[in-house]
């Protein structure tokens, strides 16, 4: 109605803009990841379980509400990114790459332009809450991270066979003087709700540090 | 009620195919053909395309061309007269269509006096001067074994905005709609994104197809500007997932309506089919897109 909007300029797509950070090679490859801003929510327990499903819905609700609010206000348009996730076990777990899933810590995250800030999140949570759609939305927060040198590859298959790809990535990185340096990171290209496990495509990323 | 079997479907479709061949000289209305075999006119076209492997229009055109080819061989009628009989307004239009099907012009074809053999007969149905249809094998391009579940679903209270025009031009309408809905806080966890297809794009001219962009809302949502409210009624649906780009949805519809449903013992209900979009076309590669198709069925 009365809202004037600027004519849409090119829509920002961070996945395409940062193409080098989202390569999906079939063999491990070293990449460097610069500063990145995310909307994120953390939790604990089995990935894909009840808590992560509820928080995933809240994360997408906040992400879309911020995007649409900015777009509608003429503040520019961008693509709400693919879902990403980070996973880390409790300290002292015998095999950090194969920990008990019920005790897994995780962060679900959607990459977002750096112009999006905490006040956008606050507004979106208030709006969703007013419409009765705010369940767990107040747990969504801005998360900034710079991962630096990482090893990355495409994993095709069920999530519970990622360990095989992770071992390949470590076997590739370690002879080059690197060691595991931060939470295991995943970028979801497929949607597990309908895609059979053997066809799931997931980018795996291990942040590295010099041994 | 007697259960509907695959043979019933086949027999009914055969009735339509025979009727077409016996009435090639006149207008063949979709409603008439559907009625003849007790198919719902609403979804008849999809059933036809799925079972026969080509659209109704393409089938009739091809059969008329096959008849024209026979006449070129067996009569001395002028090409223009044969063209008119085949439903073409001009010699030139007929020649174009004939060449597209056979790779040769009508007069060259006649001169060579070849047996007419068109390559495109997906279901084995050919023009028969006797007026019968001896061979009709309903297609199975894998649709018989597709994963389909029958579910009682709905009702859904939805906010919607209508797009009239080609389905593949609905993206800007969705964008505008979602911007308004999202900015007002209506897109939260559990929101369903539903496309409601009122017309079959194989029959209704593209510029007149009606499509509603819908998102589920609470009962107290009030219409505003171009955004209306409607209730999509509950009912029984055949549900399957289309994997891949939206421009290939028609193939999944054809398989569902023409291959799976005829073997299921179920009958399609006259109501719009629904598409539920599970991921965002903005951030998802086309081959990773997932769309659930809800095809309305008559209750048992």
For chain A, 211 residues long, the average pLDDT of each consecutive 10-residue run is: 46 92 96 97 93 94 96 93 94 82 94 97 96 92 97 96 94 96 94 92 96 81
The model's pLDDT over B29-81, given as tens digits with 9 standing for 90+, comes to 889 999 988 888 888 989 999 999 889 999 999 889 888 888 887 777 888 88
Mutate to test the interface with A, among B185, B244, B291 (most CBs of A within 10 A): B185
Q: State yes or no: pLDDT of B279 exceeds 60.
A: yes
Residues of B in contact with A82 (CB under 8 A): 283-284
Q: Exposed e or buried b for every residue in B140-171, given b needs 16+ CB within 10 A?
A: eeebeeeebeeeeebebbbbbbbbeeebeebe
Q: Are B157 and B220 in contact (CB under 8 A)?
A: no
List residues bridging with B196 in a β-sheet.
B212, B274
Peptide bond into B267 cis (omega under 30): no
Residue in B189, B278, B283 nearest the CB of A193 = B278
Q: What's the whole-number mean pLDDT along residues B111-120?
A: 63
Structure tokens at B201: 């794009």
CA angle, residues A112, A117, A120, in degrees to nearest 5: 100
Q: Exposed e or buried b for every residue in B55-78, given b needs 16+ CB within 10 A?
A: bbeebbbbbbbbbbbbbbeeeeee
With CA atoms as reference, the chain B residue closest to A59 would be: B189
With CA atoms as reference, the chain B residue closest to A14 would be: B283
Give the alpha-carbon dihedral of B159, B234, B243, A186, to 10 degrees: 70
The answer to whether the Cβ–Cβ distance between B283 and A201 falls below 8 Å is no
The model's pLDDT over B153-182, given as tens digits with 9 standing for 90+, comes to 999 999 999 999 998 899 999 999 999 999
């Amino acid at each position: 109605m009365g809202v004037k909007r600027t004519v849409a300029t090119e829509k920002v797509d961070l996945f395409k803009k940062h193409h080098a950070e989202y390569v999906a090679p079939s063999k491990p490859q070293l990449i460097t990841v610069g500063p990145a801003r995310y909307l994120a929510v953390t939790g604990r327990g089995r990935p894909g379980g009840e808590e992560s499903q509820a928080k995933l819905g809240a994360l997408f609700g906040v992400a879309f509400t911020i995007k649409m609010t900015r777009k509608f206000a003429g503040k520019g348009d961008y693509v709400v990114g693919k879902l990403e996730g980070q996973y880390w076990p409790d300290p002292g777990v015998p095999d950090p790459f194969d920990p008990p899933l019920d005790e897994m810590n995780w962060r679900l995250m959607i990459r977002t332009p750096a112009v999006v800030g905490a006040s956008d999140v606050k507004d979106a949570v208030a709006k969703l809450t007013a419409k009765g759609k705010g369940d767990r939305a107040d747990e969504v927060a801005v998360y900034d991270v710079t991962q630096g040198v990482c090893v990355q590859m495409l994993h095709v298959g069920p999530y519970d066979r990622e360990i095989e790809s992770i071992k390949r990535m470590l076997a590739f990185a370690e002879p080059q003087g690197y060691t595991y340096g931060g939470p295991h990171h995943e970028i979801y290209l497929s949607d597990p709700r309908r895609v059979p496990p053997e066809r799931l495509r997931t980018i795996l990323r291990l942040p590295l540090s010099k041994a | 009620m007697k259960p509907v079997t695959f043979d019933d479907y086949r027999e009914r479709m055969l009735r339509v195919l025979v009727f077409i061949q016996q009435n090639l000289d006149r207008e063949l209305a979709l409603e008439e053909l559907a009625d003849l075999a007790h198919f719902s006119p609403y979804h008849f076209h999809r059933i036809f395309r799925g079972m026969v492997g080509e659209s109704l229009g393409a089938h009739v055109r091809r059969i008329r061309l096959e008849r024209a080819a026979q006449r070129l061989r067996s009569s001395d009628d002028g090409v223009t007269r044969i063209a008119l009989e085949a439903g073409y307004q001009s010699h030139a239009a007929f020649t174009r269509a004939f060449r597209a099907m056979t790779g040769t012009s009508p007069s060259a074809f006649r001169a060579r006096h070849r047996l007419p053999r068109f390559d495109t007969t997906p279901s084995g149905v050919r023009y028969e001067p006797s007026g019968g249809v001896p061979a009709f094998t309903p297609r199975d391009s894998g649709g018989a074994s597709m994963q389909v579940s029958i579910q009682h679903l709905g009702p859904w209270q939805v906010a919607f905005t209508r797009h009239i025009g080609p389905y593949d031009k609905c993206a800007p309408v969705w964008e505008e709609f979602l911007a308004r809905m999202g900015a007002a806080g209506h897109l939260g966890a559990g929101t369903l994104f539903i496309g409601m297809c009122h017309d079959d794009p194989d029959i209704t001219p593209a510029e007149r197809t009606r499509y509603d962009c819908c998102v589920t809302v609470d009962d107290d949502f009030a219409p505003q500007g171009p955004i209306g409210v409607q209730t999509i009624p509950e009912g029984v649906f055949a549900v399957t997932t289309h994997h891949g780009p939206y421009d290939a949805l028609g193939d999944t519809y054809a398989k569902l309506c023409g291959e799976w449903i005829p073997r299921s013992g179920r009958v399609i209900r006259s109501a719009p089919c629904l598409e539920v979009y599970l991921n965002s076309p903005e951030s998802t590669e086309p081959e990773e897109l997932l769309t659930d198709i809800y095809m309305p069925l008559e209750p048992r």
